[in-house]
Amino acid sequence: MSDIVLRTIDLTKRYASRLAVDHLNIEVRRGDIFGFLGPNGAGKSTAIRMILHLVFPTEGDVEIFGASLAKARHRALDKVGAVVEKPAFYGHLSALRNLEILGGLQKPVTRKRIMENLERVGLADRAGDPVKTYSHGMNQRLGLALILLNDPQLVILDEPTTGLDPQGMKEVRELILELSRERGVTVFLSSHLLYEVELIATQMAIIHQGRLRVEGSVRELLKKGPSSVLLKTDRPDEALHFLGTQEVYRSASIHSDGIHVELDQEKIPELNRQMVGAGFNVNALVPRRTLETYFLNLIEGREA
């Protein structure tokens, strides 16, 4: 059995003279939490809609569990669950009744199973309330409960934490991690909240102006290239002057929390040795390269 769960093959969408998605080629492997990132207008939502067969591609194809979307749509999407934008429910019906109706469209589901999923997304105590009384964030969580009823092996989430408070975001993060680690579900996650993605994603792709800019392991990509390091030492003013004499450091500046030094992450041990060798007490060296930093550098052309 192939380890590749989702593959796009030169996936392209053109609207008149504008290329919304330009020959996109990505691979998502079994068990990944795959972050699909890009600025507004980059083509993320268009790509997701083509993957779910909600929008027809101008060129290219999508393979899901080895099945071509163009040739075998039902087989390709059979094991997929997705929440795209705001899920649509019957507002006058309760969450429980909505899941009984919508969840039973593919196969019968028991009330016990429905309540288990409502509990999992934190809505069990509101199961009997009309969905029209739900907030946007609660609708998002109800959408998650719905797609989990049929045990999908691939879950596609487009901005799943939109409208959620910090506690709700944490609950969704934990649910995604549970799906991946305990159930072996592959998660394809689009979000503009880079901090959220950084906390849970194992792999990522960044697209810009419809084109793939980078794809790979989140951990490995963040190890490479320029980084900011927080340096805490006993004599910050003297340390700053010392750093200015070393050509290896791009820049260094004093802030309220310490000295911020720009350098490649692999050079952090050398920075520590130099500081100690020069007689400074190093109280802390904290790498500060984040997914947000990497993302902005890439989009703005400062990242290779």
Q: What is the pLDDT of residue 108?
A: 83
Q: Encode pLDDT of 237-283 as tens digits.
A: 998 888 888 777 767 888 888 888 877 777 788 888 888 999 999 99
Q: What is the DSSP string of 214-275?
A: EEEEHHHHHHSSEEEEEEEES-HHHHHHHHHT-TT-SEEEEETTEEEEEEEGGGHHHHHHHH
Domains of the chain: 4-220 (3.40.50.300), 224-299 (3.30.70.980)
Q: Any idea what the Cα angle at residue 289 is, between residues 4 and 230, rounded to 5°?
A: 155
CB 192 within 8 A of CB 207: no
* Distance of alpha carbon 120 from alpha carbon 171, whole angstroms: 9
CB 291 within 8 A of CB 230: no
Q: What is the pLDDT of residue 12?
A: 96
Residues forming a β-bridge with 192: none
> Containing H/E element for 303?
none
Distances (CA, A) of 199 to 132, 173, 214: 32, 8, 19
Q: In this structure, what DSSP letter does residue 151 have?
A: -
Q: What is the pLDDT of residue 116?
A: 92
Please list the pLDDT of the chain residue by residue as tens digits (304 residues): 579 999 999 999 999 889 999 999 999 999 999 999 988 888 999 999 999 999 999 999 999 999 999 999 999 998 999 988 778 899 999 999 999 999 888 778 899 999 999 998 889 999 999 999 998 888 888 998 999 998 899 999 988 887 778 887 888 888 889 889 888 899 999 987 787 888 899 999 999 999 999 898 888 877 766 667 888 998 989 988 888 887 777 678 888 888 888 777 777 888 888 889 999 999 988 776 667 777 777 777 655 5
Q: Which of 283, 32, 5 is nearest to 180 (CA)?
A: 32
Q: What is the pLDDT of residue 224?
A: 65
Both tokens of residue 297? 């550098």
Q: What is the pLDDT of residue 57?
A: 95
* Distance of alpha carbon 138 from alpha carbon 145, whole angstroms: 10
Q: What is the pLDDT of residue 119?
A: 92
Q: What is the pLDDT of residue 250?
A: 65
Cβ neighbours for 268, distance < 8 A, ≥ 6 positions apart: 229, 285, 287
Length reported for the chain: 304
